[in-house]
Chains A and B, each alone.
Chain A
Amino acid sequence: MSIGIQDRTAIVGIGQTRFAKGLEDSELSLACQAIAAAIEDAGIDASEVDGLSMYSMENNREFEIARSVGLGDITYFGEIGYGGGAGCGAIGHAAMAVATGQCTAAVAWRARKRAAKSSRPWANVGQRLEGAQQWSRPWGLLRPVDEIAMLTRRYMHEFGAKREHLANVAVAFRKHANRNPNATMYGRELTHEQYMQARWISEPLCLFDNCLETDGALAVVIVSAERARDLRQPPVYVHSFAQSIPRQHQVMTNYFCDDPLLGPSYACARLLWERSEIKPADVPVAQLYDAFSPLIPLSLEGYGFCARGEGAAFTENGALEWPSGRLPTNTSGGGMSEAYVHGFNLILEGVRQMRGTSPCQVEGAESCLVTSGEGVPTSAVLLRR
């Protein structure tokens, strides 16, 4: 007997644009191109799409998408908040809408021209700060990287993590990107030496601890498991889905609760695994949200791949690297070396792993964990073949 929406829906179509800094097309055009490609991949008619699930930070509106791509009557539409925390949430809400009959074929997507300076939220500052920002920005903690660096320094202090561990993350993902011709960093090697010599962005984080700035769009199509079995692509089931705003959490500047290093992934993971027949030890490949390298050890701990405080050591001996690592992670290069489209590219790579079409295919992988932003209200999905 399945729990909740377990395996009741499947991702049957994926589509994406090219990734680059400074694409000419508008965000609306990019979104339409990715969605049309996903519908084509699924082999359904655009008029069958009746559900739309997106990030609240998406600049495009549902009706613009629907009338450009020629979708049908839209009977479910919803937005998920918190930027990089939203990606798996958009998938999960689409899956819930399909599983409950609110719609029959849902599209979830993200389109972003991040490389434009105006798209950097931290640079769009008003005259005076209100709410949470007034407790960090006056002192010069301005950017997401500064906010995560504060947690990183504390993490290093409490658990003995070193920059070399963060280098393990950056180098592993770059190796994967070097097998993925669609990756922004394809053909550009990164060594541990280059990492250690890179310029600081916010100590203890350097340039290579940061994700890329990317223009691009990606989309998926989700239908019921019954419908999925009749379509052209092998179904990739949404096995388990969870979201989390942990108690007393504050977005990004989460320094004001009892234990700030118990991030949103802990609470998200509890529900995710409770609703899953698959356990962390059985998961052979993962796509973990990587706006910044330290989110990887935090996520490895939060999602139960190792004990608390052991996330940094987990990265040793090539554990994150395809093909022979203990848990090949971000196998298309992730946000740090493929593209940073608010983590949505991680979802498509999870689907490719389940289809057997990844550039770093983990042989025989039957499940893949995909997570969204750590450090913000978050979400995760466990995909299975």
Chain B
Amino acid sequence: MASFLLPDLEDPASAPFWQATAAGELRIQACAACGARRMPPRPMCPACRSIEAKWEALSGRGTIWSCVVPHPPLLPAYAELAPYNVITVALEEDPSLRILGNLVARPEGPINEVDPATIRIGEPVRVVFQQVDDVSLPRWIRA
């Protein structure tokens, strides 16, 4: 069976992110010393050099920053769904923090259900979580 590309849940830098999504939460890494948020996660705060981090819960709201619609040739699992959308979402708490995802029509919907021609940069979206194997992937529906 064709498989999707999924994160290594044991990766120490990002494991708390995936533990949070498994619990139905979107959390972002922040410096425990100075509070600066950072995405993607990394071992040191670029603002103050602290290696102590915390994981802050977010509202799960944001806006579409950009969007692509891949067509084959693609890896088999993705080719079966193509064309589908991939969006970058600017997070409500700080629009310079962004995360990738897919826009789905309903919380359980597939990534190829929304008509790509209707997707607009700036559209408000909110997070949903979809289970793919052992990973809870954040995806987005129109807010």
Contacts and interface: CB of A to CB of B under 8 A. Distances in A.
Interface of A: 123, 125, 128-143, 146, 149-151, 153-154, 157, 199-204, 248, 250, 253, 255-258
A248 B42 CA distance: 12
Interface in B78-125: 78, 81, 83-84, 86, 88, 96-102, 111, 116, 121
A149 B83 CA distance: 14
Contact of A149 (B68, B84, B101, B111): B68
Contacts of B84: 140
B82 to A, nearest CB: 8
B98 A146 contact: no
B137 A203 contact: no
A142 B70 contact: yes
B39 interface: yes
A123 B139 CA distance: 24
B71 A202 contact: yes
Given A134-B7, A139-B137, A150-B88, 19 more contacts: A125-B5, A128-B9, A130-B11, A135-B99, A135-B100, A138-B5, A138-B137, A139-B102, A140-B74, A140-B78, A140-B86, A142-B75, A146-B86, A149-B68, A157-B121, A200-B69, A201-B71, A202-B71, A257-B96
A132 B71 CA distance: 23
Contact of B88 (A134, A142, A255): A255
Contact of B98 (A125, A134, A153, A256): A256
A186 B27 CA distance: 53
A202 B121 contact: no
17 contacts: A125-B5, A128-B8, A128-B9, A135-B39, A135-B40, A139-B102, A139-B139, A146-B68, A149-B68, A150-B67, A151-B66, A154-B65, A200-B83, A202-B71, A203-B68, A250-B40, A258-B96
A253 B5 CA distance: 16
Among B4, B5, B65, B102, the one with the most A-chain Cβ atoms within 10 Å of its Cβ is B5
Contacts of A146: 68, 70, 86
A154 B70 CA distance: 16
B6 interface: yes
Given A150-B88, A154-B121, A134 B14 contact: yes
A123 B75 contact: yes
B100 A136 contact: yes
B135 interface: yes
Contacts of B39: 135, 256
B46 interface: yes
B44 interface: no
Query: Main SS of chain A's interface residues?
Result: mixed
Contact of A203 (B40, B46, B116): B116
A123 B14 CA distance: 24
A16 B99 CA distance: 43
Among A123, A137, A138, A202, the one with the most B-chain Cβ atoms within 10 Å of its Cβ is A138
Interface in B35-89: 39-40, 46, 65-71, 74-75, 78, 81, 83-84, 86, 88
B78 A142 contact: yes
A145 to B, nearest CB: 8
B132 interface: yes
Nearest to A122: B75
B46 A248 contact: yes
Contacts of A142: 5, 70, 74-75, 78
A129 B71 contact: no
Contacts of A202: 68-71
Given A139-B111, A140-B70, A203-B68, A153 B121 contact: yes
Contacts of B14: 134
A153 B8 contact: no
Contacts of B5: 125, 129, 133, 137-138, 142
B101 A139 contact: yes
B121 A150 contact: no
Contacts of B74: 140, 142-143
B66 A134 contact: no
A263 to B, nearest CB: 14
Contacts of A135: 39-40, 99-100
A73 B137 CA distance: 54
A253 to B, nearest CB: 8
Contacts of A204: 68
Contacts of A133: 5
A153 B7 contact: no
A157 B11 CA distance: 35
B66 A138 contact: no
Given A128-B8, A141-B86, A203 B66 contact: no
A153 B66 contact: yes
A128 B135 CA distance: 11
